[in-house]
Amino acid sequence: DIQMTQSPSSLSVSLGDNVTFTCEASENIYGFLAWYQQKLGKAPKLLIYGATNLEDGVPTRFSGSGSWTNYSLTISSLEPEDIATYYCQNNHVYPYTFGAGTKLELK
């Protein structure tokens, strides 16, 4: 199975910050990488698919980058509604494994 390693596991942030966190796959997933946002008690929400493509309706302050095994999600100018946990997912090979998540917390 492909292992997805997210870092950091948690991040203390301030509103207006530019935030980047990473996801490393244990083998090449050819850009088949999705990012999800999950708020407490809610289902995950798709933000980015295919490593770099913004899902319809997602604010443009979210952006994804990366290739091969290394990927990142950037939030530019953090808004209060961005406080959540973020998961990456391998969509290349079954099982479609998720990373353990990065939890954003306000300072």
Note the residues at the interface with another protein (CB under 8 A). 1, 31-32, 34, 36, 38, 43-46, 49-50, 53, 55, 87, 89, 91-92, 94-101
Residue showing tokens 């390693």: 5
Name which of 14 and 56 has its Cβ closer to another protein: 56
Gap between the Cα atoms of 11 and 88, Å rounded = 16
Name which of 26 and 53 has its Cβ closer to another protein: 53
Degrees to nearest 5, angle at CA 16 with 12 and 17: 45
Give the shortest CB-29-to-another protein separation in angstroms.
10
Name which of 37 and 82 has its Cβ closer to another protein: 37
Gap between the Cα atoms of 36 and 48, Å rounded = 7
Residue showing tokens 């407490």: 40
